[in-house]
Homo-oligomer: A and B are copies of this chain.
């Protein structure tokens, strides 16, 4: 029954990580104590310590899990479209307050930014997440160029632009609801991306 025991351990670890994600999202990673997470998972501090021997270890695992989760959902969503432009615009689910991943996710993302400023581990987590996202977008851009619906643009740089633009819209949408409605976010994200693709072909500015 060794395999079974190992599997159970993994299940419990996953459960604790999920509890940690919710607790961190609710209170902010800098205000969360090990006891908070232990309580939320139905453990004592000592019990939690059995699965994660340090706060750093648990937190890193939690953030990694979060980015993995968002990536998987993004990938499923983008793959559900066939038109390249639809693929580029497939991230509208991230502007939905009702979505639990959204509510939990944004505070985690902002925490990750702060952590990334000073910790290599989190910088790397962020970097790899961006890279995976850019990969998805780049494929869609290349597809659009090959199908002839997009002009001949630099796929990599364009993918990074789209990703960055979404990031900016999302930050405003989440942190300044007053000035940035969901309708604005969805409509103008679309316009920004279509404008970018169209306008970036020729460099006939001015």
Contact = CB atoms under 8 A, between A and B. Distances in A.
A8 interface: no
Contacts of A11: none
Contact of A168 (B30, B31, B131, B167): B167
A42 interface: no
Given A113-B171, A172-B130, A179 B160 contact: yes
A46 interface: no
A165 interface: yes
A194 interface: yes
A152 to B, nearest CB: 14
A118 interface: yes
Contacts of A23: none
A81 interface: no
A197 B163 CA distance: 19
Nearest to A112: B175
Contacts of A113: 110, 113-114, 171, 175
Given A106-B117, A157-B188, A168 B179 contact: no
What's the number of copies of this chain in the assembled complex?
2
Nearest to A149: B206
A134 B179 contact: yes
A120 B123 CA distance: 28
A184 interface: yes
A126 B116 CA distance: 21
B179 A131 contact: yes
A66 interface: no
A10 interface: no
A92 to B, nearest CB: 15
Contacts of A168: 164-169, 171
Interface of A: 27-28, 30-31, 85, 106-107, 110-111, 113-114, 116-118, 123, 126-127, 130-131, 134, 157, 160-161, 163-169, 171-172, 175-176, 178-180, 184, 187-188, 191-192, 194-200, 205-206
